[in-house]
Amino acid sequence: MNKLELLIAWRYLGAQRKSLFVSLIGIFSMLGVSIGVFALVVALAAVNGFEEEVTAQMIGKDAHLEIMSYNGEPIASYDSLTREAKTRDSNIVASSPFIIYKVGISSKKVNDGIVIYGIDAESAKGVTDIYKYIKWGEYSVDSLEDLTGKVRPGIILGSGLANRLRVVVGDKLVLQLFQSPDEALGSGPKMMMCVVSGIFETGTYEYDGNLAYIGLKEMQKLLGMGDAVMGIQFRIKDHWKAGEAAYDMSQWLTYPYYSMDWKAKNITLLKWMNYEKFIVAAVICLIILVAAFNIISSLIMVVIDKTKEIGILRSMGFSKAGIMRVFMLMGSFIGVGGTIAGGTVGLVLCKLQEAYHFITLPGDVYVIPYFPISVHLIDVVLIFVIGIALCVLATLLPAWKASRLDPVGAIRHE
């Protein structure tokens, strides 16, 4: 490759009076590559951002892994089970017992059904991040006074649930156990009056609209469980290794206990996000592929338009390989230019959205209130490589066709 080949390729690519239409096709081909690369950069950044936000929300609400018993049977010896788990796995950094149950909840105006956690507030700080999301009130499930001055057990609600129940910090709520038909014939339902001590907002509608937290002792009293719990939550040093930790734990746990990590609890959502990323990338790559076919068309038209010039170049001593390189350079200019332009615009837009969150989403439909963006360097590199590679490959056929022209026949071409 020499400077002459570069100069000829550049001049053939530029607009000329007799081949303006051909040059416009080349410009539209470059625009097609730009749009495809732009869409791919933004789409993959959005998928990555969505995946990271959802993962962060899952880890913030859930512990890294849990020990529970089959059929929801209470765990009485949870202290010894916790000690054994910490002895066997040095990666465990915190643990906390919990009870999870479905109950009815009533305010003065609304009745609803929710999922409620009974937690030890202090130890639960080590395994979940709910305390970081408190927006009103305080992170406390201790007894406190309601608006009338009476002391009640504290309860922490999600913001969506608080709005649905139409309550604020200090308001009273009544918890009620659901009863089976047999129980309904006996004594009345078990109930407990609480006072709202705090309201959290994670930004995830599923959590904010359906979860509440109460003290472990109060939950044990409501369910009549004594000192037993329903499970133990753990946090480890690296949440991405929670699956390995859960597997190791399952090797020594005996019936009726089993372990489950946060990925296993959310396996369907995680699989869907992985499939989504692959499908989005594959579909948008078709835009670049269509642009590559446009490059083939434009170069073939250039070959037809420049047949006489090609013949003159061959007669002056240009080799077949030189002619082929000229047309490959033309396609490469289109591919590289389109890829850089589209990629740059896409990256700028992603960085602006990442910094200012100016594109918002409805919180009752999506799990986060804004369009999430996360640019990964490896994705950007792959996009640039794929975009340029497809465009270069698209030049092979027209470039080969140009190099095979007979010099004498080409000069006589009209």
Beta-carbon contacts of residue 4 (< 8 Å; ≥ 6 apart): none
- The answer on 251 and 105 residing in a single domain is yes
- The answer on 226 and 103 residing in a single domain is yes
- The answer on 121 and 227 residing in a single domain is yes
- The answer on 166 and 72 residing in a single domain is yes
Reading the block at residue 49, the tokens are 């951002």
Beta-carbon contacts of residue 208 (< 8 Å; ≥ 6 apart): 158, 159, 160, 161, 200, 201, 202
- Low-confidence residues in the chain, pLDDT < 70: 1, 12-26, 146-147, 179-189, 305-306, 363-368, 406-414
pTM over 0.75: no
Helix residue spans in 15-75 (DSSP H): 20-61
User: How far is residue 317 from each of residues 46, 214, 312, 403, 413, measured CA to CA in Å?
Assistant: 52, 88, 9, 13, 19
Residue 216 is predicted with a pLDDT of 92
- The answer on 299 and 177 residing in a single domain is no
Residue 17 is predicted with a pLDDT of 46
Other beta carbons within 10 Å of 292: 24
Query: How many independent structural domains does the chain possess?
Result: 2
Q: 232-262, pLDDT tens digit by residue?
A: 999 999 888 888 999 999 889 888 899 999 8
- The answer on 121 and 231 residing in a single domain is yes
- The answer on 274 and 242 residing in a single domain is no
- Which of residues 265, 295, 318 is at a domain's end? 265
- The answer on 93 and 231 residing in a single domain is yes
- Which of residues 239, 265, 291 is at a domain's end? 265
Reading the block at residue 241, the tokens are 């290794």
Residue 185 is predicted with a pLDDT of 46
- 188: DSSP letter: P
Residue 181 is predicted with a pLDDT of 47
- Which of residues 219, 237, 265 is at a domain's end? 265
Residue 14 is predicted with a pLDDT of 63
* Calpha distance 1→3 (Å, rounded): 7
CB 229 within 8 A of CB 75: yes
Burial of 402 (0-12, 13-18, 19+ CB in 10 A): buried
Beta-carbon contacts of residue 130 (< 8 Å; ≥ 6 apart): 60, 61, 124, 139, 156, 200, 202, 213
Show the domain range for 81. Answer: 63-265
Q: Among 248, 388, 230, 290, which residue's Cα sits nearest to residue 32?
A: 290
Q: Among 191, 116, 115, which residue's Cα sits nearest to residue 152?
A: 191
- The answer on 109 and 195 residing in a single domain is yes
- The answer on 287 and 155 residing in a single domain is no
Place of tokens 């066709």: 401
For residue 256, whether the previous peptide bond is cis, meaning omega lies within 30 degrees of 0, is yes
Nearest 5°: the CA angle 400, 403, 405 is 115
- The answer on 176 and 261 residing in a single domain is yes
- The answer on 28 and 106 residing in a single domain is no
Angle between helices 377-394 and 320-356 (to 10 degrees): 150
